[in-house]
């Protein structure tokens, strides 16, 4: 199990790397995170929902993802509340206080342990990931994710610390000091992550840290920029800091407060023809060549904010100036004429006028659609892949003009009311419910065709990700004492 001195220390990436290492070494590993809080989720083959990080880790294990890998997913809807997804299915919305203080934690912990044991009966080893810091004293008695789960599983736990943010001695020593003797016994070593420069400069620091904490430092992992692994729930600070760049096709992703599935844009951001950035400022949005409205966990509230900040008018002006505007999931709903929420699934507002570019209207519903999809984009023969995660139905106001045609396992079109997806207005504006649509090169080339004759040099997305997992595994093998880690597993 990889646990942390805090959030964003690199637990997810290191867990992913070990999933690939164990797979390379002939084992049948699987990832496990008991409880995940993230707006970045994924649909399993069974049509259920888990955190995207565990889906990525399953991919590194070369196995299909499953809800047992992430039995509890919390998806924030506001600053104070979240949707609880249990075993892949929504179990209602709750405030943080209700979730942590009034829910039956023992029952929930039993559900989590049962998921772990089912997974462990099918795979070995289980590569577990903790959440945030393991030394939050006020929450430890409510823990179903960190050291309580490590002890229940008999896991060999490794403490991951981010040296790039500073304070690594205090964070490691303080974390270890606040553990109970039983918890401390689970910790087999420390991993120093994100080290910049010559790691030999930390040799004396390793000795001092081992003396303070009573466990070995099993390695120092360098800070890297040339291996691309999907992060759990944060947009790259590099992409956040970008702005308009002359000589490139400038694409802005509207930075929503509750933006979901930001991984939809990873492949596009690596295209050499493109400068992709995120912004919520009207000027930044209006001057881009292409505007993308992404998914949102609270579409009505995010759209209301876009009205208040002038972004809606900026998008409308950009549309009138023939700029390209597309919407994905919640962004697709926003581009329509109206969004109604009669059951207040997301918002107490009930309804809101849409941006009004696409001739569609949306009704939010209690039932969630979570499906993996194969489809043909704009009638092209090439088979594309994506997935749906949304609570709502969007219908055309007039004749339908779908963007995508779904196909079945035999590669033939499906029929009926759910046989297609999205709305195609013209080559400058369309909407879709499909996350991952921009992982398909044919879609990217179509999107950029108005702005360049050059074809993309982006490698096949699936092959590219496999290469990244292998490179990450090689990096960890080089900088960590893998033999020692194997010995602690056997003990």
Query: What are the catalytic residues?
Result: 329, 435
Q: Give the separation between CA 112 and CA 487, rounded to whole angstroms.
A: 27
Identify the helix (H) or strand (E) that includes residue 475: helix 461-479
Q: Is 60 helix (H, G, I), strand (E, B) or coil?
A: helix
Question: Starting from the edge strand earliest in sequence, which strands make up the sheet with 89-95, in order?
Answer: 35-37, 72-76, 81-86, 89-95
Rg of the chain over all Cα atoms, to the nearest angstrom: 23
163 vs 161: CA distance, rounded Å: 6
Q: How many residues does the chain have?
A: 491
The residue among 331, 337, 249 whose CA lies nearest residue 293 is 331
Angle between helix 461-479 and 52-60 (nearest 10):
80
How far apart, in whole angstroms, are the C-alpha atoms of residue 364 and residue 342? 7
Find the angle CA(320)-CA(322)-CA(328) to the nearest 5 degrees: 95
Tokens of 233: 């729930």
Q: What is the 3-state secondary structure (H, E, C) of 170-206?
A: HHHHHHHHCCCHHHHHHEEEEEEEEECCCHHHHHHHH
- Per DSSP, the three-state class of 253 is strand
Give the helix/strand (H/E) hosting 237. helix 237-241
Provide the b/e sequence for 430-447 (b: ≥16 CB within 10 Å).
bbbbbbbbbbbbbbbbeb
Calculate the alpha carbon distances from 124 to 32, 477, 489 in Å: 12, 19, 11
Cα 327 to Cα 303: distance, rounded to the nearest angstrom: 12
Q: In sequence order, what are the residues at sequence separation of 6 or more whose Cβ sits closer than 8 angstroms to the Cβ of residue 446?
A: 377, 378, 427
Residue carrying structure tokens 């992060």: 231
Q: Please tell me whether residue 358 adopts helix, strand or coil conformation.
A: coil
Cα 82 off chain centre by: 16
- Alpha helices, H only, 257-308: 266-269, 282-286, 299-308
Q: Which residues, including other chains, have CB under 8 Å from residue 221's CB and lie 6 or more apart?
A: 10, 14, 191, 192, 193, 194, 195, 475, 476, 479, 480
Residue 272 corresponds to which tokens in the numbers above?
Answer: 């050499």
- Tokens describing residue 438: 């921009």
């Amino acid at each position: 199990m990889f646990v942390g001195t805090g959030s964003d220390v690199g637990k997810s990436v290191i867990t992913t790397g070990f999933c690939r290492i164990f797979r390379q070494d002939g084992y049948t590993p699987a990832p496990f995170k008991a409880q995940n809080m993230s707006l970045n989720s994924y649909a399993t083959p069974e049509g259920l929902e888990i955190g995207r990080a565990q889906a990525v880790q399953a991919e590194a294990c070369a196995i299909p993802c499953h809800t047992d890998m992430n039995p509890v997913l919390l998806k924030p809807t506001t600053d104070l509340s979240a949707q609880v997804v249990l075993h892949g299915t929504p179990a209602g919305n709750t405030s943080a206080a209700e979730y942590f203080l009034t829910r039956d934690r023992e029952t929930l912990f039993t559900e989590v342990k049962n998921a772990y044991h089912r997974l462990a009966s099918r795979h070995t080893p289980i590569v577990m990931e903790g959440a945030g810091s393991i030394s939050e004293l006020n929450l430890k008695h409510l823990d179903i994710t960190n050291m309580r789960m490590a002890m229940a599983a008999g896991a060999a736990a490794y403490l991951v610390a981010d040296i790039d943010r500073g304070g690594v001695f205090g964070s490691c020593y303080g974390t270890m000091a606040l553990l109970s003797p039983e918890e401390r016994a689970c910790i087999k070593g420390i991993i120093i992550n994100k080290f910049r420069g010559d790691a030999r400069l930390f040799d004396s620091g390793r000795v001092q840290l081992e003396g303070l904490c009573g466990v070995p430092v099993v390695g120092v992992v360098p800070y890297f920029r040339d291996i691309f692994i999907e992060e759990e729930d944060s947009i790259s600070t590099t992409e956040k800091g970008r702005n308009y760049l002359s000589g490139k096709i400038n694409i802005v992703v509207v930075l929503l407060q509750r933006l979901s599935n930001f991984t939809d844009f990873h492949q596009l951001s690596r295209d050499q023809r493109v400068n992709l950035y995120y912004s919520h400022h009207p000027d930044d949005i209006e001057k881009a060549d292409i505007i993308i409205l992404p998914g949102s966990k609270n579409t009505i509230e995010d759209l209301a904010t876009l009205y208040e900040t002038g972004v809606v008018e900026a998008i409308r002006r950009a549309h009138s100036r023939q700029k390209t505007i597309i919407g994905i999931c919640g962004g697709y709903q926003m581009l329509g004429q109206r969004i109604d929420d009669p059951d207040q699934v997301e918002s107490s507002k009930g309804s809101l006028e849409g941006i009004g570019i696409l001739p569609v209207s949306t009704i939010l519903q209690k039932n969630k659609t979570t499906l993996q999809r194969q489809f043909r984009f704009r009638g092209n023969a090439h088979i594309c892949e994506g997935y749906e995660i949304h609570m709502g139905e969007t219908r055309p106001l007039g004749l339908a003009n779908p963007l995508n045609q779904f196909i079945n396992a035999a590669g033939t079109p499906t029929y009926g009311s759910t046989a297609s997806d999205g709305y195609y207005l013209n080559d400058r504006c369309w909407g879709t419910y499909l996350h991952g649509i921009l992982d398909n090169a044919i879609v990217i080339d179509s999107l950029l065709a108005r702005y360049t004759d050059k074809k993309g040099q982006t490698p096949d997305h699936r092959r590219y990700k496999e290469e990244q997992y292998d490179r990450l595994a090689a990096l960890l093998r080089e900088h960590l004492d893998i033999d020692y880690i194997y010995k602690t597993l056997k003990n």
